[in-house]
Structure 1
Amino acid sequence: MTATSHRLPAEPPSVDWLGQALDCATCDNRGLLAEGKCQPAFSCVFDRYAKRIDRFFRWNPALANNYLEHPYFEVRAVASRSADVFRLVGLMYDPDETVRLHVALRLPQRLLAELRADPDREVRIRVAHRLDASLLGGMVDDPDYFVRQLVAQRLPLPLLPRMARDPDREVRLVVAARLQVPALLVLRDDPEVDVRRSVARRLPAGLLGEMARDPAWEVRWEVAQKASELLARSLLLDEEAEVRDAARDRLATLKPEARHG
C-alpha cells in the first residue's frame, strides 16, 4: 500500500463565497492570524468552504454574533451555533432553510413554536423532534407525512385521537400503537390490514368479537392469538387454515387455565 493511499481527501481551493481570491493582508481579522486564531486555507470565516468556516468559529466562538447578517448563508448558519441565543430571533425567517435548520436546534420553546409552519419540511422535522409535546397540536395537519408521524409519536394521548383518520398509513400505524381503549376502537375498521392487525394485538380479549369477522385472515389470526375460549372455538371454523391452527393452539393454552380455575 502506498503512502498516498493514507492521505485525506483534498479540500477545495481557498476562495471566498463569490469565488474571489482571499487576501489575509486586507482582512478584517488579520490580527487573529498573528495570534494563531485563524489560518489560510484551513480556518477562515470568509472562505467558501463550510468546514473552514466551522473551524474559524470553533476557534473564535465569541465572534459569532458579528456574522449573523453575513450575505453568505453558510456563514450565518455556522455562526448561529455559537451566537447568543437572544440574537437568533433575527434568523428565524432567514431566506435560507439551512440557516433556519441550525436555528431550530437552539431556539427556546416559545420561539421554536413559531417555526411549526416553516415552508421547509426538514425544518419542521427538527421542530417536531424538539418542540414540547404540549405544543405539537398545531402540527397534526402538517402537509408532510413524516412530520405527522413524528407528531403522532410524541403528541399527548388526550390529543392523539385527532390523528386516527390521518390519510397516511404509516401515521395511523403509530397512532394504533399508542391509542388507548376506548379511543383505539375507532381504528377497528381502518382500510389498512396492518393497522387493524395492530389494533387486534392491543385490544383486550373481551373487545375482539367484531374483529373475528374481519375480511383479512391476518387480522383474524391476530384475534385467535388472544381470543376467549368461546371466540377461539368459533374461529375453528374459519376458512383459512392458519386461523384455524391459531385458534386450536389458543384453546390448548386455555384448557389448563380452565382446569386450574
Structure 2
Amino acid sequence: MSTEDIDEAIDWQGNAVDCAACAHRDRLAEEKCKPLRACVHDRYARRIDRFFDWNPDLARDYVAHDYFEVRACAAKAAEIFLLPAMLDDPEEAVRWSAARRLPRRYILRLRADAHREVRIRIAGRLEGADLLPMMQDEDYAVRQAVARKLSPDLLVLMINDPDPGVRRIVASRIEHAALMRLAKDSDPIVRLEAAKRLDSVDLKALIKDADWRIRYEIAQRANVEIIGPLVADEDPLVRECARDRFRDAGKEPPTNVIVAQTRSDP
C-alpha cells in the first residue's frame, strides 16, 4: 500500500493533523502543501519528503525536529553547512541522509558507524584506499559492499575473507592473475565463480573438482582435447555435455575412459 492509499492525516505522535493550527497554513492556499499528500506534520515519510521538495526554504527549520523522519527528509533539502552536525544524530536514517550530500572528508568517520546500513551505504560512496579499513568490518554485508567497490588490483587483499559470499564477489571481479587461487577455494560457489572467468586452457586444473557444476563449466568451455575424462563423468549432465562437445567438433568421444575420481577437497 502506498502513502497515497492511506486515507488519514496523523502526526508522529498519533494525533490528527490540524491545518488550521499549522504555522505554514498560508502555504496551503499557495498549493505548496496538501493534506494527505505533502505535509511536514504527517507521520509518513513520503508526505514529509514531498513537503520539503515543495518548500526547500523551510528545511533548515526542521533539522532538529523531534521526529527522525522529519530530520531525515529535511537533510535532503537544508543548506549543506547544516549537515555536518547531523552526522551525530542518534538515528541512522538521519546520519545517512546527511552523509549522502556531504563531501568525502566528512563521511570517513561513518566507516565505523554503529549501524550496518550506514556502513554499507558509506562503502558505496567511497573509493580506493578509503575503503581499506572497511575490509575488516565485522558484518559480512559491509565487506560485500567493499568487495563490489574496491579496484580489482586491491581485491587480492580479500581473498581469504571468512565469508564465501564476499569471496564470490572477489572471484567475479579480481584480476586474472590471482583468479586461480579462488578456483581452489573451499566453497564450491566461489570456485564456480572463478571457473566462469578462467581462460579455457586453465580449466584443466579443475577437471576433478568435486562439484558437478564446475565440471559442467569445464565440459562447456574447455578445449575438447582437455575434456576427454568427462565423457565418463559420474554426473549425467556433465557426460552429455562433454559428448556433445566432441560431436560438435566432428570427433568421436573416447571410449576407453575410466570415470575419474573427483576431489573432495579443492
* TM-score, with structure 2 as normaliser: 0.77
Deviation at 1:134, TM superposition (A): 5.2
Comparing 240-249 with 217-226, greater Cα deviation is found at: 240-249
Aligned to 1:184: 179
Task: Please list, as runs of the form range in 1=range in 2, the aligned pairs for 1:239-258 lying within 5 A after superposition.
Answer: 239-254=234-249
Q: 2:140 is matched by which residue type in structure 1? A: Y
8 Å CA contact retained: 1:67, 1:79: yes
Instruction: Provide the rounded CA distance (Å) in 2 between the counterparts of 1:155 and 1:19.
Output: 45
Instruction: Provide the rounded CA distance (Å) in 1 between the counterparts of 2:109 and 2:170.
Output: 25
2:69 paired residue among 67, 74, 80: 74
Instruction: Provide the rounded CA distance (Å) in 2 between the counterparts of 1:184 and 1:153.
Output: 16
Aligned to 1:206: 201
Aligned to 2:206, what secondary structure does the other structure show?
helix
Aligned to 1:11: 8
Deviation at 1:35, TM superposition (A): 6.2
% identical aligned pairs = 46
1:195 to 2:195 alignment: no
1:220 paired residue among 212, 215, 221: 215
1:128 to 2:123 alignment: yes
Instruction: Provide the rounded CA distance (Å) in 1 between the counterparts of 2:135 and 2:92.
Output: 22
Instruction: Provide the rounded CA distance (Å) in 2 between the counterparts of 1:40 and 1:255.
Output: 74
If asked which structure has higher relative contact order (CA below 8 Å, sep 6+), I would say 2
Deviation at 1:64, TM superposition (A): 1.5
1:115 paired residue among 91, 105, 110: 110
**1:6-62 Cα distance to aligned partner (Å, 9 max, x none):** x9431233x5x5556777777655665676655677655455554553344233211
* TM-score, with structure 1 as normaliser: 0.78
Instruction: Provide the rounded CA distance (Å) in 1 between the counterparts of 2:245 and 2:205.
Output: 18
8 Å CA contact retained: 2:9, 2:42: no
Describe the shift of the 1:12–1:206 C-alpha distance in structure 2 as closer, same or farther (beyond 3 A). same
Instruction: Provide the rounded CA distance (Å) in 2 between the counterparts of 1:112 and 1:40.
Output: 36
**1:96-135 Cα distance to aligned partner (Å, 9 max, x none):** 1121131232122222332222111222222233333553
Instruction: Provide the rounded CA distance (Å) in 1 between the counterparts of 2:5 and 2:216.
Output: 56
Comparing 82-91 with 134-143, greater Cα deviation is found at: 134-143
Ranges in structure 2 where 5+ consecutive residues have no aligned partner: 252-266
**1:66-103 Cα distance to aligned partner (Å, 9 max, x none):** 32222332221111010112221001121011211312
Count of equivalent residues: 248
2:82 paired residue among 80, 87, 90: 87
Deviation at 1:182, TM superposition (A): 2.0
Aligned to 1:70, what secondary structure does the other structure show?
coil
Q: 1:187 is matched by which residue type in structure 2? A: L
Ranges in structure 1 where 5+ consecutive residues have no aligned partner: 1-6, 257-261
Instruction: Provide the rounded CA distance (Å) in 2 between the counterparts of 1:53 and 1:248.
Output: 63
